[in-house]
Chains A and B, each alone.
Chain A
Amino acid sequence: MDFKFDNVEEEFRSEVKEFIEKELPWDWRKEDLDAEDEVDSIKVMEFKKKLGEQGWLTMAWPTEYGGQSATHMRQVVFNEEMAYRGIPAGDAGVRMVGPILMLYGTDEQKEQFLPKIANAEINWSQGYSEPDSGSDLASLQTKAVEDGDDFVVSGSKIWNSAHAGSDWMFMLVRTDPDAPKHRGISFVLSELETDGVTVERIPMMWEAYRGLVTFDNVRVPKKNLVGELNRGWYVGAALLDFERSGVDRPARAKRILEDLVEFAKENQKNGTPLSTDPVIRRELADLAVQIETARLMCYNVAWMQSQGQIPNMEASITKVYGTEMMNRLYGFGVKMMGLHGQLDPGSKWAPLQGRIENAWLRSFGGMVAAGTSEIQRNVVAQRGLGLPRG
């Protein structure tokens, strides 16, 4: 047993902190950015370019593709420091498209896309969910019909960032409507500035939008097919060996808790500081314990990966626990602020710039995106504990 990071990792942590302090183009102490927001995404891309120059954007990529083959624990350190400062670090190009191309892409595709992904020159949008296909993703209906050198794509993709300056979409499309549902899907890359593509904005209950993209007979060149025809489900499931502990959640939560503790010390209720109220003290302490537990469970996922083990159940556990913990944390924060807790960002009366209120609303997204809490619990029960499928 050894629960501390080694010296090299700690030195790297200092280096990352210093870099962020110097290079971040916004005040992380006051803003909480949403990478899928059209205004925020510009700032985020700007910072990602700097990370690209530093080689950190693709630190997890193998050196042969210009990465640094960074260890899992080094990635954890990086992701912790970014998330603590509220920097949206998850980059679909780096984490998903790049690795998929490395495994399944043609030489031409690799040459065309990998350097641009590494330099944050492409803003990717994910084309998986559809209005009628959420948790049951394999039921997706967007169809791609072969026609000469192209596919002709029709259908819609939802809950993406296409409205926020995306150039390309990586998407799953149905290429064989008669095959069993997982076996008639292909993985294609489509430019969004193309005839027949319409992007609409869906307003979220927090201050942001998600994209709804409609494809009306859009021509996608066949050279943009990744992997074999009708094998897209398996292409999309490919994972490079990124750390996937979800450590960004407890790292972010740590920062929020610090803000809430400060708030409790500086603000009063009925003439006494909130921080002297025994119920508030216990609630905040309990959240601190939840954050600590989440952090350790995340470390374990990364550590298992570093040992060559595949953390299936463990990764689902950190996803469920981490996202639900965030929701409790923000929810308590709003409550602790009393009437002021309801104020939107922008109000002069809003505590902590209204960030807690907005983040609480947004935190419901965490429990739904990328496998709902229910789907994750099914994974834990069936794949992890071996319970029979219904």
Chain B
Amino acid sequence: MDLGLNEAQQMLKNSAQEFLEAECPDTYVREMEEDENGYTSEMWQKLAEQGWLGLIIPEKYGGVELEFQDLAILLEEMGRYMLPGPYFSNVVLGGMSIMDSGTEEQKQEYLPRLAEGQIIVTLALNEPSGRWDAEGIQLSATENGDDYTLNGTKLFVPNAHVSDYIVVAARTGSGENDISLFIVSSQTNGVNQTLLKTIASDRQSEVSFDNVSVSSSSLLGEKNQGWKTIEKVLKWGAIGKCAEMSGGGQSVLDMTVEYAKQRTQFGRPIGTFQAIQHHCANMATDVEGAKFITYQAAWMLSEGLPADREVAMAKAWVSDSYKRVCALGHQSHGAIGFTKEHNMQLYSRRAKAAELAFGDSDLHLDKVAEIIGL
């Protein structure tokens, strides 16, 4: 057993903290909440230069070829600093979908450009039904000779507005799992996007496909095999999100402890009051739990071990514990914490979005129930 980070991981963590401290201050986060794109191309270039866009892409496709657990460490820091922009949707959702299901030719075509920051890819999975299972995918892809025609609506597609390509999960048969993935240029005729206004000021879109014709070469991997990839992407996504939440929770705890030391009422720092001390102790407990339950699942995914149980447990725990951490953070900060000018609300809005992403605790607890034999 080794519950710590190895030397390379510690270096990655340190350099991520150093970079984000310098390049992603809260002023940048706030600016990007209002920005049309939600990130700057300078930032994107820098992320590419760090090697982070290709962090887990194999070397032969121009990546750094680290493991998923390393990516989790990086995402933890990105969550701590609330890095805005399409990093997560590009690397975890778009990139890993291609890595998992693409043919050799498709990998050659997309992954090197993704690693260098030349293209941005996202994944269009959810639909207006809001379901997370294969039946929730109703957008149809009908075969017409060498082409497919896509019809339907995708919802909550992250960063579609700045994407070059969208990996689309489409129904190609009547069997429950007859799902195929297509990689479609975002500019294709018939693809229309509308930005949604969301709680975390992130950029999610409704993307409609109106008789969109794509060639069969845009089928990622094999026909009717897409759900297998989506099942994996949902696990990577859930744990990636847990890592972000884990870092966010640590930041909220640090911020609250600092505030409790500085803020004076009744002639002494509020951190001397046992009520506030116990809020902080409870937050520390939740943060500690989130870290290890996330790392365990990330490690298992890295090792290619069956991790259904650990992933479901992690997403269930972290979704709820981050929410508790934010609630106590708010309570300890008093009124200033829920003003726009304070960073506390930046975290609590993101915590809610992250809770909903890849299934909330109820969805994952239902999985756990089955796994423990109920």
A266 → chain B closest CB, angstroms:
12
Closest to A6 in B: B1
Q: Are B365 and A289 in contact (CB under 8 A)?
A: yes
Contact assessment for A264 and B2 in the assembled complex, using a CB-CB cutoff below 8 Å: no
Q: How far, in angstroms, from A292 to B297 measured CA to CA in the complex?
A: 12
Bitwise, A1-41 to B at CB < 8 A (1) or not (0) is 11111100000000000000000000000000000000000
The answer to whether A381 and B292 touch (CB under 8 A), given A281-B374, A387-B272, A388-B269, is no
Q: A269 CB to closest chain B CB, in angstroms?
A: 14
Pair A377/B296 contact, Cβ less than 8 Å: no
Report A373-390 residues with CB < 8 Å from chain B CB: 374, 376-378, 380-382, 384-390
Interface string of B261-280 (1 = CB under 8 A from A): 10000001101111011101
B3 neighbours in A (Cβ, 8 Å): 1-3, 299-300, 303
**Of the 9-residue stretches B58-66, B148-156, B283-291, which lies at the interface with chain A?**
B283-291
Partner of A281, one of B271, B284, B300, B369: B369
Q: How far is the CA of A294 from the CA of B285 in the complex (A)?
A: 10
B1 touches A288 (CB 8 A): no
Surface stretch bound by B, among A134-142, A167-175, A313-321, A358-366: A313-321
Which residues of B (278-322) have their CB < 8 Å from a CB of A? Answer: 278, 280-282, 284-285, 288-289, 292-293, 295-296, 298-300, 302, 310, 313, 316-317
- Residues in B neighbouring A374, C-beta threshold 8 A: 274, 278
Q: Which residues of A contact B2 (CB under 8 A)?
A: 1-2, 303
CB distance from A156 to the nearest CB of B (A): 29
A47 → B minimal CB distance (Å): 28
* Beta-carbon contacts under 8 Å, A60-103 to B: 73
Query: Does A296 sit within 8 A of B, measured CB to CB?
Result: yes
Partner of A385, one of B257, B269, B372: B257
Interface hits, A278-302 → B, CB 8 Å: 278, 281-282, 284-286, 288-290, 292-294, 296-297, 299-300
Assess whether A223 is interfacial by the CB under 8 Å rule. no
**Could you tell me the distance between the alpha carbons of A319 and B156 in the complex, rounded to whole angstroms?**
41
A235 at the interface (CB under 8 A from B): no
- B11 at interface by CB-CB < 8 Å: no
Determine how close the nearest CB of chain A comes to the CB of B321; give it in whole angstroms: 8
Nearest-neighbor residue (CB-CB) of A76 within chain B: B1
Q: Contact check, B365 vs A380: say whether CB atoms are below 8 A apart.
A: no
Does B4 lie at the interface of the complex (its beta carbon under 8 Å from any beta carbon of A)? yes
Q: Give min CB distance, A339 to chain B, whole Å.
A: 22
Q: Which residues in A have their C-beta under 8 angstroms from that of B176? A: none
**A3-B300, A296-B293, A387-B257 known; A261-B1 Cβ under 8 A:** no
Q: How far is the CB of B301 from chain A (nearest CB, A)?
A: 11
B199 CB–A CB distance under 8 Å: no
- B 350-374 to A, binary, CB cutoff 8 A, 1 in contact else 0: 0000000000011001111100111
Q: Assign chain B's interface to a size class.
A: 35 or more
User: Given A281-B374, A299-B3, A385 and B369 touching (CB < 8 A)?
Assistant: no
Say how far B66's CB is from chain A's closest CB, in angstroms.
13
| A307: Cβ under 8 A from any B Cβ | yes
B369 pairs with A314, CB closer than 8 A = no
Bound-state CA distance A278–B369 (Å) is 9
Q: How far is the CA of A3 from the CA of B307 in the complex (A)?
A: 12
In whole angstroms, how far apart are the Cα atoms of A38 and B51 in the complex?
Answer: 66
Could you say which residues of chain B place their CB within 8 Å of the CB of A300? 3, 288, 292
- What sequence of 0s and 1s flags, for each residue 305-329 of chain A, a beta carbon within 8 Å of any chain B beta carbon? 0010000011011001100000000
User: A265 in the interface, Cβ–Cβ < 8 Å?
Assistant: yes
Q: At the interface, yes or no: B55 with Cβ under 8 Å from chain A?
A: no
B284 pairs with A289, CB closer than 8 A = no
Interface residue B43 (Cβ < 8 Å from any Cβ of A): no
- A257 in the interface (beta carbon within 8 A): yes
User: B69 interface residue, CB < 8 Å from A?
Assistant: yes
Per-residue interface assignment for chain A, residues 95 to 133, with 1 indicating a CB less than 8 Å from any chain B CB and 0 otherwise: 000000000000000000000000000000000000000
A377 to B22, CA, bound (A): 34
Instruction: Tell me how far the C-beta of B278 lies from the nearest C-beta in chain A, rounded to whole angstroms.
Output: 5
Other A-B pairs beyond A1-B5, A320-B285, A377-B277, 19, CB < 8 Å: A1-B295, A1-B302, A3-B299, A257-B372, A265-B373, A265-B374, A281-B365, A281-B366, A285-B365, A285-B374, A288-B368, A289-B365, A292-B313, A293-B313, A294-B289, A296-B292, A297-B288, A317-B288, A385-B280
21 pairs, CB–CB < 8 Å, chain A vs chain B? A1-B295, A3-B295, A261-B374, A285-B365, A285-B366, A288-B313, A288-B372, A290-B317, A292-B310, A293-B292, A293-B293, A297-B289, A300-B288, A321-B285, A376-B281, A380-B281, A382-B277, A387-B261, A388-B272, A390-B273, A390-B274
Instruction: State the 6 A-B residue pairs at the shortest beta-carbon distance, nearest first.
Output: A381-B277, A377-B281, A285-B368, A380-B281, A296-B292, A281-B369
Q: Spell out B's residues near A (CB within 8 Å).
A: 1-6, 9, 69, 253, 257, 260-261, 268-269, 271-274, 276-278, 280-282, 284-285, 288-289, 292-293, 295-296, 298-300, 302, 310, 313, 316-317, 361-362, 365-369, 372-374
